[in-house]
Amino acid sequence: MSEVSETTPQPVQAPHPGGPAPHPGAPHQAVPAPHQGPDAVPAPGAPGSFPAPYPPFGGGAPGFPEAAVAPGFPEAAQPGRTPLAPPAPQGPFAPQPPHIASVPQTAEAGQPGPGPQAASAPQAGQASPGPQATPVPQAAHAAPAPQGTQGGTQGASAPSAPQGAQAATGLPRTLQYRFDGPEDAPVLVIGPSLGTTWHMWDRQIPELSQHWRIFRYDLPGHGGAPAHAAASVAELGDRLLATLDGLGVQRFGYAGCSIGGAVGADLALRHPHRVASLALVASSPRFGTADEFRQRGVIVRTNGLEPMARTAPERWFTPGFAAAQPAIVEWAVQMVRTTDPGCYIAACEALAAFDIRGALGRIGVPTLVLVGAEDQVTGPAEARTLVAGIPDARLALVPGASHLAPVEQPAAVSDLLLMHFSTAWQQDTSAAIPVLPHITAPAAPSTPFVPVAEIAPAAATPDAVAPTPDDRYEQGTKVRREVLGDAHVDAVNDTADAFTEDFQELVTRYAWGEVWSRDGLDRRTRSVITLTALVTSGHLEGLAAHTRAALRNGLTPAEIKEVLLQTAVYCGIPAAGAAFAVAQKVIQEETTPPA
């Protein structure tokens, strides 16, 4: 059941009579057609250069740092660069979303982020952002922002924002968001990557907002947003749609980076009638392995976010850029440090479960797959997998960029997005996409678009019907991999032969498909019981695997220690001593941050 958004939608006015106005300037090289010609799109201008310096830190979560503190950072726009001039969408498919009127901000207090606060006062004629807004102060020489919806006012000492930034309520069904650009322009939704805020797109806004109404959002617990963790990529998509529904936005373009791209792909699969065009930036149909992301969650649960913050620059930027732009590197580290750890862990779990490799052929909207040539997280190989699987997809390879290509090569990314969304919306393909009714009950088996990675609605009662034997085996395989990890299960399967395979099937079907899958106890509690039983029975050969499982299931090393201390009282000192030796080794392996 959808919950009420933090704002009350205003009456919808007549649609905008036309698409976005063309942007004057010289034409730019178009994105190559799928599987034709080189896939490298040269960046306009020298690699690593920026058309204008970043604004200073804002409140809530850090914005881009001042250019003056970054050696070699240009202080003015590139004099020889003319922005790309995209053609205006034509025909019946030209996007015409409803006009979104200004909405007063609610008085509900939010959760301000721990980032440094800006000290500037509101500019004349501008309203301050709402209580949970993350303002973006304007540098004196930055390009002027287009006028748009303003947020509600607060104290006179609050910093000004060029556009209204809306704050999500404490209810977990909506997301913290902000708008930039003309109120009557088509809506383009932009999603962030894990550990970042909407500020990662700051350098694209001046150009994109000339043509579209830009809607940016923060992930839960990021950028000062309420820390209501989302358990899956599908749940993030549902919260995004609930937020857009409350604003009267029905059809939109979507661009997202990393997990933000996963949200866009999920929406294109489950709600194809809502997404007009799609851009997947540094994204993948499956992010690494489930084991990698679940171990990342274990490290954060044990050590906090500092290990992730410390290693973020090497994951996000090329070495040359990181050395030349230390202020931006520090800005990136601050974004991670100000994220809520529980929401970060939940996002890792969501990525661990995300896998749409078998569903790519059902993405029926024009798609740009954009990736940095030096991305070591979701690199060109993952991008080519997306292009090969999505019927109407094109690949753009950005040289001199790693995972956060919008930050490292902002001019190239802006031009590619302008070209893609300006041309992709010209063709009217909406008639070929079935418009599905919005339902909360599970979709019927005959529904052509099956939800991907969707959490079962609260009204569903999966235990009402007993699973068949085959269902138990499939469920057991899934739970066994989630708890023990792919590496452990693969090793067991690899060593199975005709003599042991029936026993492994028995274990999978009944231990994991029935007992571990029951709703009566959560997995944390089951891990506590299992550790105790293994120590009691002296079966320490399974203790290492289940210590790892306990960490994955949310137990901390301190809690595991308490479990083993309890067993020392009731099971004996020698048994507990042997268990401590096994558990200590596993905990050191699993919780030690990467060097």
Average the pLDDT over each of 288-292, 465-469, 505-509, 546-550 and give the range with the smallest value.
465-469
How far is residue 229's CA from residue 498's CA, in Å, rounded to a whole number?
A: 44
For the cut 80, the answer to whether the pLDDT of residue 74 exceeds it is no
Helix (H, G, I), strand (E, B) or coil at 591: helix
Query: Of 335, 330, 336, 261, which is closest to residue 299 (Cα–Cα)?
Result: 336
Given pLDDT bands bounded at 50, 70 and 90, which one contains residue 595?
low
| DSSP secondary structure letters along 502-570 | HHHHHIIIIIIIIITT-SSS-HHHHHHHHHHHHHHHT-GGGHHHHHHHHHHTT--HHHHHHHHHHHHHH
User: Span 387-399, mean pLDDT?
Assistant: 94
Helical (H) or strand (E) element with 397? strand 393-398
State the Cα–Cα distance between residues 233 and 476, nearest whole angstrom.
22
Average pLDDT over residues 544-549: 91
> Which residues contact residue 216 at a Cβ distance below 8 angstroms, ignoring those fewer than 6 apart?
177, 178, 179, 180, 189, 190, 192, 198, 201
- pLDDT computed for residue 328 by the predictor: 93
pLDDT at 252 over 90: yes
The share of the chain scoring above pLDDT 90, in percent, equals: 48
pLDDT tens digits for 548-574?
989 988 889 999 999 999 999 998 999
Sign of the dihedral through C-alpha 558, 561, 562, 563: positive
Give the lowest-confidence range in 266-270, 393-397, 430-434. 430-434
Secondary structure (H, E, C), 185-252:
CCEEEEECCCCCCHHHHHHHHHHHCCCCEEEEECCCCCCCCCCCCCCCHHHHHHHHHHHHHHCCCCCE
pLDDT above 90 for 187: yes
Statement: residue 86 has pLDDT above 90: no
pTM beyond cutoff 0.85: no
Confidence of residue 497 (pLDDT cuts 50, 70, 90): confident
Per residue in 537-559, is it b (16+ CB within 10 Å) or e — as a string? eeeeebbbbbbbbbbbbbbebee
Max CA distance (Å), the chain: 80
Using an 8 Å Cβ cutoff, are 161 and 190 in contact?
no
The pLDDT value recorded for residue 4 is: 32
Q: What is the pLDDT of residue 592?
A: 87
- Token output for 383: 């991008």
Instruction: Kindly state the average pLDDT of the residues 214-240.
Output: 95
Confidence class of residue 485 from pLDDT cuts 50, 70 and 90? confident
User: 3-state class of 411 per DSSP?
Assistant: helix
**Whether residue 299 has pLDDT greater than 50:** yes
C-alpha–C-alpha distance, residues 303 and 280, integer Å: 32
Beta bridge partners, 393, equal: 367
HEC-encoded secondary structure of 290-337: HHHHHHHHHHHHHHCCHHHHHHHHHHHCCHHHHHHCHHHHHHHHHHHH
CA distance 132 to 575: 53
pLDDT at residue 112 in the model = 38
pLDDT at 467: 53
Highest mean pLDDT out of 26-40, 44-58, 300-314: 300-314
**Amino acid in the structure at residue 136:** V
Helix axes 557-571, 543-552, angle to 10 degrees: 140
Average pLDDT for 191-201: 96
Token readout for 31 is 């994105």
* Across 19-33, 140-154, 480-494, least confident range: 140-154
Predicted confidence at residue 71, as pLDDT, reads 31
